[in-house]
A and B are shown apart, each in its own frame.
Chain A
Amino acid sequence: QLQLQESGPALAKPAETLALTCTVSGDSISSRTYYWGWIRQPPGKGPEWIGSVYNNWSSYYNPSLRSRVTISVDTSKNQFFLKLNSVTAADTAIYYCARHHSVMGILIAAMMFDPWGQGTLVTVSS
């Protein structure tokens, strides 16, 4: 059964870089046509898609975060990563990683997030 687990610092200082790791178990991260994505959820609000990557060959980013975000994959470790630069208090949220895919190959308009990791709360504060 596919499982994802986020890890990384719970606290980041303003203007610094937030860095998180998602470890995938139960399947190879490069075995099929899947994207791997990051989603965040500020306290009391709905989820916000951050970005998704496919084997370091292709990536999509939320236009509002594109200038500050990098998502990469390490297939040898079955992990993928999030880096968010120049963080502010507005970046405080629970950060989730998830498989981002559609039932029939890569069909952008049909892609869903499933399964999700348990999430990790990152607080931006000095």
Chain B
Amino acid sequence: QSVLTQPPSVSGAPGQRVTISCTGSSSNIGTGSDVHWYQQLPGTAPKLLIYGNNNRPSGVPHRFSGSKSGTSASLAITGLQAEDEADYYCQSYDSGLSLWVFGGGTKLTVL
């Protein structure tokens, strides 16, 4: 059971918009800890996609955006493309447990 809860899977057709939620608690996201998102393409290492809740590293398309409110965060992908098919993970810091935590991951399928 992950400290950060994500839906196991989401799907969408090319061109559509999808969102992936990341639900935490008052000891992690709710305390103001930043949320970061990673994309893991099949057979590769996770890659930083969004940092500090809503910032894109250089090279990440504007189609990817992040938001945070209360004890939850969301990743939105607009203009869905086949190459976006991957696993997505959120990550934050839990001050109650004193460790950095990841969500269980969400598998995005492009129909």
Using a CB–CB cutoff of 8 Å, the interface residues on chain A facing chain B are: 45-49, 60, 62-63, 96, 100, 102-103, 108-119
Contact = CB atoms under 8 A, between A and B. Distances in A.
28 contacts: A46-B103, A46-B105, A47-B46, A47-B89, A48-B102, A49-B99, A49-B100, A62-B99, A63-B98, A96-B45, A102-B34, A103-B52, A109-B32, A109-B33, A109-B93, A109-B95, A110-B33, A111-B93, A111-B100, A112-B36, A112-B48, A112-B91, A113-B91, A113-B100, A114-B51, A115-B48, A117-B45, A118-B45
Contacts of B100: 49, 100, 111, 113
B97 interface: yes
B26 interface: no
A108 B93 contact: yes
A103 B93 contact: no
Given A96-B45, A110-B34, A113-B91, A49 B101 contact: yes
Among A46, A100, A109, A115, max chain B CB count under 10 A is at A46
A100 B91 CA distance: 12
Contacts of B97: 63
B63 interface: no
Interface residues of B, number: 28
Nearest to A6: B45
Interface in B15-70: 31-34, 36, 38, 44-48, 51-52, 57
Contacts, number: 67
Nearest to A116: B45
Nearest to B6: A46
Contacts of A60: 98-99
Given A109-B33, A110-B52, A116 B102 contact: no
A49 B28 CA distance: 15
B1 to A, nearest CB: 11
